[in-house]
Copies of this chain bind each other. A is one copy, B any other.
């Protein structure tokens, strides 16, 4: 009898150790903790291990994250060029005349070029609305209304030549914030690169970018090189809450 109680105690002890962890995955308080843990663990990698590649499954997730990114009036005014092959990495390396990121360009698993449409036009928006119709989101009445009202915003933020590149560029930073969060969840390291040479990229990737897309930043992804990535172990530094958050 005593032994029976002991067994029960051991068993329920094990169950007790198990259950809270399982339960801990679903309540919001735990999701919140997981979010903060993810964001605290992410950092900008300073050295990649050339031998470690992002898996095809993870890359597919990352590309889908980019595609699903939210944007103003669902404009999706972007194109993402995913540089994987050595040949494409060499082409990207060729664009660095002013700044040096050569170790990333060669050692990162992939580099993603973020490009935004410079003159986001009614024709561009029609293609987005066509996708909405195809998805069963929009009927003809809604289509006409959206084309008038929603596109009016894209028009309003454009200059006299129809250039609304500053607005489309802002949208591509939403995609950046979205994918940086996803990469943290996937434990994949990354390095946003704003100091790229837009003009040189325009020349080198003219065919892929097309006429009216500009690339003003890129994102290297992959896995850090052990012992070489000094930023990995450094503590995260942010302004205090009271410096950036005001509750009213």
Contacts and interface: CB of A to CB of B under 8 A. Distances in A.
A206 interface: no
Contact of A245 (B35, B82, B174): B82
A206 to B, nearest CB: 13
Contact of A68 (B15, B39, B67, B182): B39
Given A176-B177, A180-B70, A180-B178, A237 B134 contact: yes
Interface in A175-226: 175-182, 185-187, 192, 194-195, 208
Given A127-B239, A137-B234, A65 B35 contact: yes
Interface string A108-128: 000000000000000000011
A134 to B, nearest CB: 7
Nearest to A87: B248
Interface residues of A, number: 93
A83 B245 CA distance: 11
Contacts of A29: 57
Contact of A79 (B35, B57, B61, B246): B246
A28 interface: yes
Contact of A248 (B76, B85, B138, B169): B85
Given A66-B245, A127-B239, A173-B173, 19 more contacts: A7-B7, A31-B185, A32-B60, A35-B65, A39-B68, A39-B178, A42-B70, A64-B241, A66-B244, A67-B241, A68-B238, A70-B177, A82-B247, A84-B247, A84-B248, A127-B243, A135-B235, A175-B177, A178-B180
